[in-house]
Amino acid sequence: MDHIDYDIDLTSEELDLKAAAHKFAKEVMRPAGIEIDRMTPEEATAPDSLLFEVLRQASELGFNRMGAPEEMGGVQVPTPRAAVLINEELAWGSTGLAGAIALSSTHATIALALGSSEIVDEFVRPFFSCTDGSIIGCWAVTEPDHGSDTLGVMQADMAVKARGQLIARLDGDDYLLNGQKSAWISNGPIATHALLNVKLDPDGKLDQGGICVLPLDLPGVSRGKPLSKHGVRAMTQGEIFFEDVRIPKRFMLVDQNAFAPYMDIHLSLFNAGVGVIATGLARASYEAALEYAKQRVQGGKPIIEHQSVRARLFRMFTLLQTCRTLSRGVFIYNGTAMKRGVPVKLEHSIASKIYCTNSALEIATLGVQIHGGNGLSEDYACEMFLRDATSMTIADGENAYLTQLGASRL
C-alpha cells in the first residue's frame, strides 16, 4: 500500500515547499547520490566532483540556509513542520548528500546562537549571504580514541579522566590548537570552516571541553586522505590535523563550564535530525521495493500478488509510518522548545534516532530481499540503501551506546 502523510492539515505553503524539495531530491540528489556513491573517495572530493555542484545548487535554493534571519540571507520556513518536510524529502533523495547539506551550515548556525557580534560578522553573515556553496562547514568532534564517549559528557558516569587528542591551550590572548580529529569527520575533506570540539584540560575529565569555530585555511591545519567507507559515501569524511594552530579567544564559543549543558542541547537537535534523515531513507527503500514488486513477474504474476511479498511490504509500511510520526514529533518539539528557551528532551531525540535508524535498516534489508538476486546488484538503488541504512545506525553515536544513554535519562 502507498504510505500517506497523517498530517492532513498541511498548509499550501508547506505543500509547496515539500514539492520543491522533492523535485530537487528526485532530479538532482538521487542521480548524483548514486553517481558519487560509485566514486572513489578521492574522486568524490576532487575539485571537479559532482558533489560541489550539488552543494552549489542546494545553496542557491536555500536548503542549507533554512531558519537563519532573512536580513542575513537566510531562508525562513513558516513552521518547524515545514523544515521536517523539506529535510525528509532531501534524505529521500540521498542520505549522504542530505547530511552534507545539513552539516554545511553547522559552524554558522552555532556561531549565530552563541557568538558575539564580531563572531557573527566573521562567520555567520558570510555563510548565510553565500549562495554558491563555496563556504562549507563541518562539526569536528570525533577523535581516534574518543567517539561516543565524548557525546555523553552530561552523564556523571561518563565524566571520567581521559587524555584528549585535540588540545586547546591558552596562550596570552589566543588559544593554540594541537592534535587531530578522526577520519569520521563528515564534510571534513571539503569543509572550509569547522565547529570544533576541543579539550581544555589535557588530562582532565571528558566534560572539561570547549567548542570553537574557525576557518580551516589557517596555518598548521592539514588533512588526511578521505575515508573509504561502507555506506553514506556521498557524505565525505576524513581526518583533520592541527599543529600550533593559533586562534583568538573570541573563537572559543563554549568553555568547560558550559560544555556539558551545551552538548545536551546540541545532541538533542542533531539526533532529532538523524531521525528525520533515517525516515527519508526508509521511505526511499520502501517505495523502491513497492515499485519493483508491482513490476517483477514470478510464477506468472507480479510478485506483489504473492502473500509472502505482501507481508514484507506490510511490515515495511508499518515501520515507515511510525518512523515518520515519531521523527516529526520529536524534531518539532525540541526545535520549538529551544526557540522558546525551555528544556529540550535529549532522551526523546535518542529514541527517535535509534528507532528510525533501526527501522530503516530493517526496511532496507526487506527491500533487498524483495529484489532477490537483483538486490545485490549495483543496478538497483536498494543495494545502496542497505549500506546507507547500516551506516546510519552509527551516526551521532552507535545505537547500543545511545540506548544506554537514553535509558539513563528516563
> And the C-alpha cell for 94?
540521498
The two counts, helices (H) then strands (E), for the chain are 14, 10
DSSP state of 25: I
Report the pLDDT value the prediction gives residue 403, as an integer from 0 to 100.
67
- CA distance to 201, 236, 271, 403, per residue, from 348 (Å): 31, 28, 9, 11
Phi/psi of residue 196, each to 5°?
Answer: -125, 125
Nearest Cα residue to 364 out of 272, 276, 274, 278: 278
The fold for domain 259-408 equals: Butyryl-CoA Dehydrogenase, subunit A; domain 3 (1.20.140)
Alpha-carbon span 278 to 214, nearest angstrom: 30
Could you tell me if 329 and 354 are in contact, meaning their C-beta atoms sit under 8 angstroms apart? no
Which CATH architecture does the domain made up of 12-128 adopt? Orthogonal Bundle (1.10)
Alpha-carbon span 71 to 65, nearest angstrom: 12
| Single-letter amino acid, residue 274 | V
Reading the chain (410 residues) residue by residue, the pLDDT tens digits are 677 788 889 999 999 999 999 999 999 999 999 999 999 999 999 999 999 999 999 999 999 999 888 888 888 888 889 999 999 999 999 999 999 999 999 999 999 999 999 999 999 999 999 999 999 999 999 999 877 676 666 666 667 777 789 999 999 999 999 999 999 999 999 999 999 999 998 888 777 899 999 999 999 999 999 999 999 999 999 999 999 999 999 999 999 888 888 888 888 999 999 999 999 999 999 999 999 999 999 999 999 999 999 999 999 999 999 999 999 999 999 999 988 889 999 999 999 999 999 999 999 999 999 999 999 999 999 999 999 999 999 877 665 666 666 666 66
Alpha-carbon span 85 to 331, nearest angstrom: 11
Alpha-carbon span 351 to 278, nearest angstrom: 13
What does the domain layout of the chain look like in residue ranges? 12-128, 137-254, 259-408
Could you tell me if 235 and 100 are in contact, meaning their C-beta atoms sit under 8 angstroms apart? yes
Q: Kind and range of the H or E element at 318?
A: helix 307-340
Residue with cell 505482501: 310
Report the pLDDT value the prediction gives residue 78, as an integer from 0 to 100.
84
DSSP state of 251: G
Alpha-carbon span 210 to 207, nearest angstrom: 9
Coil, helix or strand at residue 172: coil
In sequence order, the 6+-apart residues with CB closer than 8 A to the CB of 204 are 161, 256
Enter the CATH code of domain 137-254. Answer: 2.40.110.10
| Inter-helix orientation angle 346-371/307-340, to 10° | 160
| Single-letter amino acid, residue 389 | A
Report the pLDDT value the prediction gives residue 187, as an integer from 0 to 100.
98
> And the C-alpha cell for 166?
585535540
* pTM (two decimals): 0.94
Report the pLDDT value the prediction gives residue 76, as an integer from 0 to 100.
83
